[in-house]
Amino acid sequence: MIHFVGAGPGAADLITLRGHRLLTQADVVIYAGSLVNPELLKYTKPSCRIYNSASMTLEEVVSVMRQAEKEQQMTVRLHTGDPSVYGAIREQMDLLDKYSIAYDVVPGVSSFCGAAAALNAEYTLPGVSQSVIITRMAGRTPVPEKEEIALLASHQATMVVFLSTGMLEQLSERLLAGGYPADTPAAIVYKATWKEEKVCRCTVASLAQTANTHNITKTALIIVGNCLGDAYDRSMLYHPAFSHEFRKGTDS
């Protein structure tokens, strides 16, 4: 059996209890070397065979999984953050289906949640935004035209931009073209929850300059929107006047 496990955003103790248990039991671990904290590998048993997928192709990864299956061993495929976000797990699962190998997925704390924690931010602030757009600039992986940053920016929802730290001039330009005022609050969070974490608050217009000043070129998320500002409405859920299933408010 193969278990796709979310390693969490960085800090080793942010993996789930289930993910940790599977790591301690694994005969084979294939981890995404560029972003998974190597400290997590200390949880494995001494006989566990460990592969870094950074230098492997999809076919090589699946071939290691097939060999482990033949030997009736258990494999953990360790992905950074949550495997469903830019994790390239679907292509692995489709190949495993082809070879009739069973698998499941253990979710993880995505780095966009790690970044919110680093910022003490609430992405879905009442009266500001009730949606979070997770996106990226096009790189070698193209982005569908309908998801172009300026089109998404026109919603003025909270945006979390992955995989784009090297393109911040263009990102600012597309965000401004989409209608964000230049002084809209933004932030760059580098290596959220790692020891090296850096949190830089700035504006939509000053993203590139801020990254330059702090020497940030990769492993960062860009957060954009007025959820990083000061104005919002208080919640209905905890309002004294508001009644709901579990509480009688002064309105009834």
- What residue ranges bind ligand SAH (CB under 6 A)? 9-10, 35, 79-82, 85-87, 110-111, 114-115, 162-163, 189, 191-194, 219-221
Q: CA Rg, the chain, in Å?
A: 21
- Name the residue nearer to ligand SAH (CB basis): 163 or 202: 163
CB 5 within 8 A of CB 26: no
- Shortest distance (Å) from residue 80 CB to ligand SAH: 5
- Shortest distance (Å) from residue 249 CB to ligand SAH: 38
Select the residue whose beta carbon is closest to ligand SAH and give its number.
81
- Name the residue nearer to ligand SAH (CB basis): 37 or 184: 37
- Name the residue nearer to ligand SAH (CB basis): 109 or 204: 109
Q: Give the DSSP H/E element, type plus range, for residue 135.
A: strand 132-136
39-47: long-range contacts at Cβ-Cβ below 8 A with a sequence spacing of 24 or more?
A: 39/12, 40/7, 40/12, 40/15, 40/78, 42/12
Cα dihedral 166/169/175/177 (nearest 10): -140
* DSSP category for residue 39: G
- Shortest distance (Å) from residue 204 CB to ligand SAH: 18
- Name the residue nearer to ligand SAH (CB basis): 215 or 250: 215
* DSSP category for residue 234: P
- Shortest distance (Å) from residue 217 CB to ligand SAH: 11
